[in-house]
Amino acid sequence: MLQQIETNLQRGIDNVRGSRDFYRRGSQLQTVAAAGLSATTTLLIGLNEIYHRSGIAAAALAAAGLTTIASAWSSWFASRKLWINNTVALTSLYALRERIEYDKARDGQPDAVTIVAYRSQLDEIFAELNRTWVRIREG
């Protein structure tokens, strides 16, 4: 019974770590895209004030439009919030794994009541991860 909990725990750690890394990269990409497009828009507006070229003005408008799209993309996908959500869950999973390892080192095989408590804690971590994911995705 404990072996099954440890297997599920490790699988959860691996999956949540992968999700966390995915959302972290997404968040970084969204941040860089929005900042880069905003800076490009500002630069193009400044260049247009100097050179008064319709092509520069058109490029500034296009960059401004893409900035709006990048901002909407960031809001829609909520990568930063999901990255944080997965980080919190991963920390909880690590804490549970450490608790199990500590208890095994201290007492040998934990009793059935303790094992059931581990399972309940693991289930609650996954349930909270899912509840938070749903809240974030609902907007």
pLDDT mean over 83-92: 98
Q: Mean pLDDT of all residues in the chain? A: 97
pLDDT level of residue 129 (50, 70, 90 thresholds):
very high
Give pLDDT, residue 139: 76
Residues of the chain with pLDDT > 90, as a percent, come to 98
**Residue 42: partners with Cβ closer than 8 Å, 6 or more residues away:** none
pLDDT level of residue 102 (50, 70, 90 thresholds):
very high
| Count of domains for the chain | 1
Q: Is the pLDDT of residue 111 over 90?
A: yes
Give the domain range for residue 64.
2-138
C-alpha–C-alpha distance, residues 30 and 43, integer Å? 20
Distance in Å from the first CA to the final CA of the chain: 39
Burial of 50 (0-12, 13-18, 19+ CB in 10 A): exposed
